[in-house]
Every structure is written in C-alpha cells, then in structure tokens.
Amino acid sequence: MNNNSYAFAPLQFKHLCEEEMQQRSSAFLNLMRARRTVRDFADTTVPQSIIEKAIETAATAPSGANMQPWHFVAVKSAEIKKQIRAAAEEEEKALYQGRASEEWLEALAPLGTDENKPFLETAPWLIAVFSQKYSYDNDGKKHKHYYTPESVGIATGLLITALHTAGLVTLTHTPSPMNFLREILKRPAYEKPFLLLVAGYPAADAKVPVIEKRPLNELLDVY
C-alpha cells in the first residue's frame, strides 16, 4: 500500500454569469468550427515557442492517476523530416496498394488522399505523440499507467485545439504501422507512436473538402 498522499489546496474557481457563459461557449464553438484538417502546407517557419506552448497546453490534460502517459517529439530538422517522410510513404504505399480493405479505400476515396506525403517535408513542424503503457522512474522502478489511450487522446485533442487557437493548421497523420517513428526519434520500446501531427501555415492555394459535421440532434441524447 502507498501511504503517501497529496497535499490538498482550495480550488481556484471563478463563477461566470450566465450571459458570459453563453457568450464564451458560442465564441469557442465558432472558433473550433473554423478548424480544418489541412494537407497543403506552406514552408513558412513557425517559432518553436508557439509549438512548445501548445505542447504544454496538451500536457495539462487529465490522465489516469495523473501518470501523464505521453511524450512528444517536435521535429523541425529537414533531415529528420526527410527520414520520416520516406518511412511513412513506404508504409502508406503498402496501405494504398493492398493492405487497406476495399471498404477502407472506398471511405478514403472522397478525400483524394494517396501515398504521397510531401507535407511531411514542407510543413515546418512534425509533432510525434507517443503513449506510454508504463514508465520507469529514476531508480529504475516500473510504474504502470492507467487509461493510457484515453489520456493521450485527450492530450492530443488539446494539442490540436491549442495549435488552432494559435493561428496554425494541422493534419492528424496516422501512417500505419508507425513503429518507424520510435526508431527514427530514438524513443524507448515501452512507448508506442500514437499519431503524427503536422503543423504550420496553409499553402496559399490550400483547398479542403466540403464536408459537414453531424448536427447535435443526431449525436446527442439528453435525459
């Protein structure tokens, strides 16, 4: 049994009046409605401090037993981006030319995606998100993590939101399998690549598919 416990301090919480709650929730919805997944990036640089702030925001996410079961690798190096692109395109080729089911390829067809991933070199930043089912402390003691996929998924959602709020665009890229990321980025065997987030500015002529999000009445029950 672990007899240690945290010190507890009063919650810092400010009640908003209802009008301000309505205003803020609508404004945030409008901000998030403007987020689009982008596949055409400009090669314009983005300050590292913006990426670091977004990752610090992601790391505020709730996590099982506060284990914070994530690690981020932010890549700006042209050489490493090139290696990631080559490895990702190899996997994607296998996916598009046989590994994916007919049903999967049919679902992807309207997006017009293929195995070519130039954005992996064009975009100024690639952020690899790794999940940890467990970790080791400084004494080499192994610590099990809890609800790892949920925790890392929440952190990634915050990361995408933070980058969007900062005025950048992202692409959630999931080459499958992604184990090459662990090798290229020198991460330990107990970490699993969760996804690769491409971040930067859109190309001047970037186009996005005209798609719709399901309306609230289709996705929400209230009792």
Q: Which CB atom, from 71 or from 117, has the smaller least distance to ligand IYR? A: 117
Q: Which CB atom, from 38 or from 69, has the smaller least distance to ligand IYR? A: 38
- Verify binding: residue 206, ligand IYR, rule CB under 6 A: no
Q: Which CB atom, from 47 or from 149, has the smaller least distance to ligand IYR? A: 149
CB of 92 to ligand IYR, least distance (A): 6
**Measured CA angle at 201 (ends 108, 170), to 5 deg:** 40
72 close to 128: Cβ distance less than 8 angstroms: yes
C-alpha to C-alpha distance for 164 and 156, rounded to whole angstroms: 12
Q: What track of x and - describes contact with ligand IYR for positions 98 through 117 (by CB under 6 A)?
A: ----------x--x-x----
73 close to 186: Cβ distance less than 8 angstroms: no
Phi, psi of 105 (to 5 degrees): -60, -35
C-alpha to C-alpha distance for 123 and 114, rounded to whole angstroms: 18
CB of 118 to ligand IYR, least distance (A): 12
The edge-to-edge listing of strands for the beta sheet with 191-200 is 70-75, 125-132, 191-200, 169-173
Q: Which CB atom, from 63 or from 184, has the smaller least distance to ligand IYR? A: 184
Q: Which CB atom, from 81 or from 173, has the smaller least distance to ligand IYR? A: 173
- Verify binding: residue 92, ligand IYR, rule CB under 6 A: yes
Q: Which stretch binds ligand IYR (CB under 6 A): 66-74, 134-142, 174-182, 190-198?
A: 174-182
Long-range contacts of 92-95 (CB under 8 A, 24+ apart): 92/117, 92/175, 95/175, 95/176
Q: Which CB atom, from 117 or from 145, has the smaller least distance to ligand IYR? A: 117
For residue 69, whether the previous peptide bond is cis, meaning omega lies within 30 degrees of 0, is no
Q: Which stretch binds ligand IYR (CB under 6 A): 17-25, 130-138, 167-175, 181-189?
A: 167-175
Cα→Cα distances 137→9, 61, 128, 144, Å: 26, 21, 22, 11
CB of 190 to ligand IYR, least distance (A): 24
Among 174, 183, 188, 207, indicate the residue that binds ligand IYR (CB under 6 A).
174
- Verify binding: residue 86, ligand IYR, rule CB under 6 A: no
- Verify binding: residue 97, ligand IYR, rule CB under 6 A: no
Residues that bind ligand IYR (CB under 6 A): 92, 95, 108, 111, 113, 173-176
